[in-house]
Every structure is written in C-alpha cells, then in structure tokens.
Amino acid sequence: MAHTTPLDEVVGHCWPLAARVEVRDDVVEWHGFRHGFREWDYEALGPFVFDREAYHEQFAAIDWSDTGIPPGGW
C-alpha cells in the first residue's frame, strides 16, 4: 500500500500568490504574479496563456462540490 501524506504536511503553511487574469477574445492569460506578504520578484513566472475555449471547458469539468465554493462562484 502506498503511503500518502496529508496535503498540509506537503505544502506546509503557504502564503497567497496572486496574478492578473486577462480574458481576451480567444485566450486567457495569467501574468503579473505577486506575493501577498513579501515583495518577491516573480517577473520570470509566466505569462501563462491558455486557449479560452479549452480553459472554460476545463473549469466546467471540475467537481466543485467539495471545495466550499458556492455554485456559480462567489
């Protein structure tokens, strides 16, 4: 049997990471990453560009029932 480690032991007590998300006609782009409590340089992270239709399809396929996020988002 494989050993599993609780997620909080794997990632510890992580702080937030925020990004600007731009939705355009055919793509969704994540960029401008920043840390919530530190002035760390995330310039080398991203941008990440996704096909808009595929991006929305993946979100539609997520089972959100166990996340605490209400149907339709906040």
Total domains in the chain come to 1
The confidence score (pLDDT) of residue 12 equals 58
Confidence (pTM): 0.67
For residue 19, what are the domain limits? 15-63
Residue 52 is assigned to a structural domain of this protein: yes
Look at residue 65 and tell me whether its pLDDT is greater than 70: yes
Q: Which residue has the higher pLDDT, 66 or 30?
A: 30
Please give the Cα distance from 38 to 40 (Å, whole number): 6
Residue 29 is assigned to a structural domain of this protein: yes
Look at residue 57 and tell me whether its pLDDT is greater than 60: yes
Residue 10 is assigned to a structural domain of this protein: no
User: How far, in whole angstroms, is CA 15 from its chain's centroid?
Assistant: 13
The confidence score (pLDDT) of residue 13 equals 62
